[in-house]
Structures are given as C-alpha cells and as structure tokens.
Chains A and B, each alone.
Chain A
C-alpha cells in the first residue's frame, strides 16, 4: 500500500530535438510518443508508458516528479493526507496526461511539483512476455533497463524530509548531518532500495539529478566509454558513493540537466536502522574513492 516507486520525471529543455537525440542515442531510451511540445521516453525493460517526459520551454527546468502508487485507493488516501497537512491538491483527470490515467498533484514544502499516479498505460518490456530473451539486441547507447531515483534540492532539508516521511510514508535510509546536528541531506526509500528519493540542501524547487539503473559495475564502465565517445561532459566518476554504496557516474545532458547512472546499494527492510554520516566525513559520504566533494557537484542544479 502507498507509494511503490518513482514513475517518471518531467523536465523542460530549450531544444527538443537535441534532447530527444541525446536521450535516445546516447542514453539509449526508446521514444514512445511525441506531440508538438513533448517527447515521451521509456527504458527498454520498463513496462509502463514512459519514465521521462521532455518538453520544450524557453528555459531548462524541472517540471515534476511522478511516483506510482500500488492501489487505486492509495490516491484518495494520500490526497487526504496531503490535504490534512495543509497543501492544496489538484486532481488531474483521466485523459489529461498522455500515457496515464487519473493522478493527483501538489507542490511539496520544498517547492517541487509532485504527482502520484496509479494507472499508467502498459507498453510492455522490449523483450516481450512469451519465451523472452534475457536482453534486447541492437539497443543503442547506454541502454539502462530502467529509471531508478531522483535527487531534489530544498532550503530546509529537515522539514522537507519530514513531509515525505510523515505524510507520504517514505523511510529514511541514510542522513548527512551538519555540525549542528541538522539534516544537510537525506535518502529515502519505498521500494526495498537504498533510495527512491533524496534531498540535498539548495534552493527550493530544484532538481539535482535523476538516475538510471545499470546492471553492474561493468555496465558503469561501458557507460563511461559511451559518454566519452559522444563527447558528453562527465561531472564525476566512475566512482562509488559511501552513502547508498552505489557505483556511479554523473554527467549532463546537452541542455544542462544532470543525469546519473547508478548500480549497487543494498536492500533495506522498512525497519532498516537509519545510517548517519557526519559533516567531517562528507567527502567519503558522497564520493568514497575521492574523499572530497567538487564545487560543481554541490552547486549546479536545474
């Protein structure tokens, strides 16, 4: 019951064709649908209609993050919970959004637009479901099997986190505390993973990055090859996180939105005890091999 996982991310781009070329040829997503202003993309192993929507706008930005709920009833339960917290909730009726049915939308205390949806059109995995091969031949680019998580920025990380945990049922797996003992960043899950959603200090409403899942460290290496071959600006990596233990590369799409490819981590139960990182260990917490942060990673977001 409740939120199942990240469903899709909406971003705005200033050049739709360039962005679509990057997300299909370098990232290796599949274009599912296109209208005048938007392109809908999914990863090869995803069943649902899309996990990324890119839309033309005069500036690069973050549209919304959409999370899938397990049952139809969860939408009204969570609508009530968000309403009781005091936030206005909008019902988006079936047919208003391509590829999905009814949803609810609200602005979180940290300024992001969040959507919850249950009914998403099923396109199916690219492998099919009758005697399927374990992979798909002829995919281009990195070709991650699926979207994994999103990291957003908030002025008040503690307050933002409290909303996600108390109202939406997220569970904090890890937290980075500043010298005063306040949360400087938090990692939260709903899906037996180290994180589905994370928050780091920064302006309200910001998107730090969204991440795609890879099979393993060898897939991380191949991704680095593909990024370098295509002249993509790598931000950090390949390296490892202390937090989540994941292996990772950060890089930017051609319009400046940060992407990550990610693998590894662990499998927490809902009663998992929260791991704490102290400020004096912030370098290893974020980049375990480097042991220090870079300024660009901390400051650049969309």
Chain B
C-alpha cells in the first residue's frame, strides 16, 4: 500500500522526430505507441507500456511525471490525503488517461509540477519470454538502459516541497544539503529501497533538472559515454561519482535541451533510516565527489 516508484515522465520537445530518433537510437529505448503529437517509449527490461512520453510542444521541459502505486485503493487513499492538504485532485480512468490506460490521480505539487499517481497501466512485457528467458536480449541499439530510475526537479522552496513529499505522499528523505542559513538547498527522497526516486534542488518552480536511466554498473557508464560521444551528443559531465547517493553517473542533453543522466550504484535504504546531511561547505563533493567544486552551470541550467 504505497507509491512504488517513478512510472514515467512526459517530456516536451519542439522537434518530435529528432527527439524520437535520439531516444530510440542513442538512448536505445523502444517505441510502443505513436499519436500525431506524442510518442511513447519504454526501456527493454520494463514491463509497462511506457516510461517516457515525448510530446510535441513549442518549448521543452517536463509536462508531467507519473508514479506507480501498488493498489488501486492507494489512489483513493492519496486523493483524500492530498485534498486534506488543500491540493485539488483530478481522477481519470481508462481511455481518458490516454494511451496505456490505467487509473490516475492528477494534481499540481506546491512547486508547480504536474504529478500523477497511476495504477494499472497496460503491461506489454519486457523483451524476454516468461519461460526459460536468457538474461538479456541481443541486438539492442545505443545505450539501452534496462529501466528509468529517477527524476530531479528544480523548486523555489526545497523545504516546502520536501515536506509535501514526506508528509502527504510518504516519501523518505535519504540525503539533504543544508545551507548555512539552515534551509535545505537540495534533497533526495525514495520510496523503493533505493538512494533516491526523486530529488530537488533550489531553482525555479516547475523546472526539470534531469531524469535518469539505470544501468548495471560503472562499466556500462563508460560504454554509455562511448555511445554518446560517437553520436556527437554533448556530454555535460564526464563519468564521475556523486557524494550524495554515492552513484556513478554521466550527464548529457537530449536534442531539445532536456538533461539526461545515466546512473548506477547507490545503496539500499530502509524507510526508517535517518537522512545523511551535507553541509554547504561540502556541497561540491555532495554533487561531484571527484571534482569537489560546485559546478554553477550544472546548478543553473534546467528545462
């Protein structure tokens, strides 16, 4: 009975065909459905219909993010909690939800992000049989991560949005960067035994800092970087390590300017574990452990 994990992100792109080419050929996702202004994609090991939706738009950025809940009753439970917290919730079912279906509860977060909780999205299966499957399919193209991992947002008031996620939606705070003034500069929260499913950093409300795909290990980060360089994709941050979450990562931009990350590592957190705290003076290492300096471009560029 809870929010299970990040289900999907809907990303705005001004050139749909270019974005689809990038997400299928460089990222190596699989196209599962197409509408005139929307293309639905999944990673090879994901069972559900889509984890990324590309939407034609005059701009770029995050249209909405979806979070999978375990049971249908969770939608009622969180709708009540959201309404008690003064958040208006819109409930949709089946065809009204769009391609992939399911039942959703949609709302706007205090930070101006469009968020939905979803149950029962169509399952299309991963690329392996359910009887005697090999450990992975051959012939995948591009980076081909097995799954989406987390989303990182910019918000004006990190404290407020962090409390909202904790108190209304039962997210668990794993790490925080505390400013010398006592306010949270950045926070990492999880619902799935992971180091983070969502993270927040100080910036404009409604902004997307990046969304990330999971790969198995550090060697796959190297292979991903090879694929990016080969295709001429601009790598923003070379393969490195985070202090916060301990993950290994590489950052780059899709052709529309939305930041992507390939991520691995981290740890297993129980829901009752107290958070790790980073002080402002150590923020450089919190973000990039090897460099140890605060990278202003990384903190200010978002979509």
Q: Contact residues of A with B, CB < 8 Å?
A: 1, 4-5, 45, 47-48, 68, 70, 122, 125, 129-135, 145-146, 191-193, 213, 215-218, 240-242, 245, 264, 266-267, 269-278, 281, 284-285, 288
In the complex with contacts A134-B246, A216-B216, A216-B218, A47-B135 CB distance below 8 A: no
Residues of chain A with a CB closer than 8 A to B192's CB: 192, 267
**Shortest distance between the CB of B224 and any CB in chain A (Å):** 14
17 further A-B contacts with Cβ under 8 Å, apart from A130-B276, A193-B193, are A4-B270, A5-B268, A47-B273, A70-B271, A130-B277, A131-B278, A131-B282, A131-B285, A134-B241, A134-B243, A192-B192, A192-B193, A215-B217, A216-B216, A245-B135, A276-B131, A281-B132
Min CB distance A148 to B, Å, is 9
Q: For A219, give the chain B residue with the smallest CB separation.
A: B217
Task: Tell me if B265 is interfacial: C-beta within 8 Å of chain A.
Answer: yes
Task: Give, as a whole number of angstroms, the nearest-CB distance from B130 to chain A.
Answer: 5
Digitize B127-142: 1 where CB-to-A-CB distance is under 8 Å, 0 elsewhere: 0001111111000000
Asked if B91 lies at the interface with its beta carbon under 8 angstroms from chain A, I say no
Q: Out of B133, B134, B276, which one reaches A132, CB within 8 Å?
A: B276
A191 with B193, Cβ < 8 A, contacts A45-B267, A266-B45, A269-B47 known: yes
A270 contact from B70, B130, B218, Cβ within 8 A: B70
Q: Please indicate which of the listed interface residues B134, B217, B271 has the most CB atoms of chain A within 10 Å of its own CB.
A: B217
List 25 contacting pairs A-B, 8 Å CB cutoff, sorted by A.
A5-B268, A5-B270, A47-B273, A129-B275, A129-B276, A130-B278, A132-B243, A134-B242, A146-B268, A191-B193, A191-B268, A192-B194, A216-B216, A216-B264, A218-B217, A218-B218, A245-B136, A269-B4, A269-B5, A273-B47, A274-B130, A275-B133, A276-B132, A277-B131, A285-B132
Collect the chain A residues with CB atoms within 8 Å of residue B194's CB: 192
Contact mask for chain B residues 228-264; partner A; CB cutoff 8 A; 1 contact, 0 none:
0000000000000111001000000000000000001
Contact of A242 among B4, B133, B146 (CB under 8 A): B133
- Given the known inter-chain contacts A269-B68, A270-B70, A273-B123, please indicate yes or no for A129 contacting B274, CB distance below 8 A: yes
- Please name the residue on chain B nearest to A217 by beta carbon: B217
Question: In the complex the two chains form, is B193's CB within 8 Å of A215's CB?
Answer: no
Q: Is B4's CB under 8 angstroms from A270's CB?
A: yes
Is B279 in contact with chain A by the CB < 8 A criterion?
yes
In the assembled complex, how far is the CB of residue A218 from the closest CB belonging to chain B, in whole angstroms?
7
Chain A nearest CB from B72 CB (Å) reads 11
Asked if B47 and A272 make an inter-chain contact with CB atoms under 8 angstroms apart, the answer reads yes
Residue-wise interface mask of B (267-293) relative to A, using a CB-CB cutoff of 8 A (1 in contact, 0 not): 110110111111100100110010000
Assembly CA distance A273 to B123 (angstroms)? 10
Q: Are A129 and B216 in contact (CB under 8 A)?
A: no
Contacts of A70 in B (CB 8 A): 271
Q: In terms of DSSP, what is the predominant structure of the interface of chain B?
A: loop
- B266 CB → nearest A CB, Å: 9
Which B residues lie at the A interface, using CB under 8 A? 1-2, 4-5, 45, 47, 68, 70, 123, 125, 130-136, 146-147, 192-194, 214, 216-219, 241-243, 246, 264-265, 267-268, 270-271, 273-279, 282, 285-286, 289
Q: How far is the CA of A45 from the CA of B270 in the complex (A)?
A: 12
- B residues in contact with A285, CB < 8 Å: 132
Q: Output the nearest chain B residue to A46 by Cβ-Cβ distance.
A: B268
Task: Give chain A residues whose Cβ lies under 8 Å from the Cβ of B271.
Answer: 4, 70
Nearest chain-A residue to B71 (Cβ)? A270
Q: Which residue of A lies closest to B275 (CB)?
A: A129
Q: Is the CB of A242 within 8 A of B132?
A: yes
Identity of the chain B residue whose Cβ is nearest the Cβ of A177 in the assembled complex: B131
CA–CA, A59 and B275, complex, Å: 42
User: Counting chain B CB atoms within 10 Å of each CB, which of A5, A133, A217, A269 scores highest?
Assistant: A269
A129 to B279, CA, bound (A): 11
Residues of B within 8 A of A48 (CB): 270
Q: A134-B241, A134-B289, A215-B265 are in contact. Are A273 and B45 (CB under 8 A)?
A: no
Chain B residues near A122: list those with CB within 8 A.
273
A248 CA to B130 CA, complexed, in Å: 22
Given contacts A216-B217, A269-B47, A281-B132, contact A131 B286 (CB under 8 A): yes
A284–B135 alpha-carbon span in the complex (Å) = 10
- Tell me which of B47, B132, B135, B147 contacts A277 (CB under 8 A): B132
**Closest Cβ neighbor of B45 among chain A residues:** A266
**What's the Cα separation between A271 and B216 when bound, in Å?**
22
